[in-house]
Amino acid sequence: MHAMQQLKTLALATATVSLLGLMPLAVHAAEGDLSRQLSEARQEGSIWTAFALNRHLNPFTLDVDVENGTARISGSVESEVERDLAEQIALGIEGVKEVDNQLQVDPQIKPGNDGKPGLAQRLDDLTLAATVKSKLLWNSNTEGLDIKVRAENGVVTLSGQAQTPAAKELAERLAANTDGVREVHNLLSISSADSAAIDLGSTPKDAGAAISDAWITSKVISSFLYSRNLDGLSISVDTKDGMVSLGGTVLSSAEKDLAVETARGIRGVRGVDADALRIEE
């Protein structure tokens, strides 16, 4: 994939994450938290992209984490010039008010790949991280979790907290089933808060009311396209009052089951009718 195509793909993925923040939720507290996570994910992606496209910084491996308007950047660069440049680039991203510059200066580091992933690979990884983050935010059982996503050479690392072991496992499954992901390192810790009353299989009844059928349809289609095990172009999706109807064809009953499971997991979905989804013979 050429660099320009990768940039377009990355822009689409990050724009999708950004647009999610415009959707109203029934509970104001949840709305604020989700909006913050989406905004921070978009800002991190923008900073990573700016670093990857800057010829002075792209030879170095830099980490970015944004929280409450503060961007923390870490890693090593060759001189104070690159250290200051990285800070100024991060400050130029919309929504970033402050930079916690933890970059170390190491004169022994020489610009050049030397086994490090090139620009094309890093753009692939940025796109992959944005895609996995989107899938986690769209899913009714993981969207409220504080999960950070990082991708390197197709290896995705999940960190943060999950409320239950089942939620941790689901996050890993969603990431692993994303096209382009070679491996998943699940570093999620289980929240110490009492989660006995949490039912992973249920969705608040009033949460779906604020989500439009068009939003549900677009996210189901996107999830199919992102899946490594589904041909999303061969499956049609229609949503009415939160009820999703699937049509078209799949190659096996396993693919049909996966399509139903994927659609059912999207926020706001009340049920899935797959009677019209045929298995090719």
- Per-residue pLDDT, 123: 67
Query: What angle, 0 to 180 degrees and rounded to 10, lies between the N-to-C axes of helices 119-138 and 165-176?
Result: 140
> What six digits make up the tokens of 95?
């929504």
Please tell me whether residues 127 and 259 are part of one structural domain. no
Please tell me whether residues 220 and 184 are part of one structural domain. no
Q: Residue 202 falls within a domain, yes or no?
A: no
Range of the domain at 125: 3-190
| pLDDT tens track for 144-157 | 677 888 888 889 99
Cα 214 off chain centre by: 20
CATH number of the domain enclosing 267: 3.30.1340
Confidence of residue 229 (pLDDT cuts 50, 70, 90): confident
CA distance 187 to 4: 33
Query: What angle, 0 to 180 degrees and rounded to 10, lies between the N-to-C axes of helices 80-91 and 28-53?
Result: 140
Higher pLDDT, 217 or 211: 217
Q: Residue 78 falls within a domain, yes or no?
A: yes
Q: How many domains does the chain have?
A: 2
Residue 263 above 80 pLDDT?
A: yes
Please tell me whether residues 180 and 271 are part of one structural domain. no
Please tell me whether residues 160 and 241 are part of one structural domain. no
Please tell me whether residues 236 and 111 are part of one structural domain. no
- Per-residue pLDDT, 204: 39
Residue 269 above 60 pLDDT?
A: yes
Residue 187 above 90 pLDDT?
A: yes
- Per-residue pLDDT, 142: 83
Please tell me whether residues 173 and 273 are part of one structural domain. no
Q: Residue 195 falls within a domain, yes or no?
A: no
> What six digits make up the tokens of 15?
């724009």
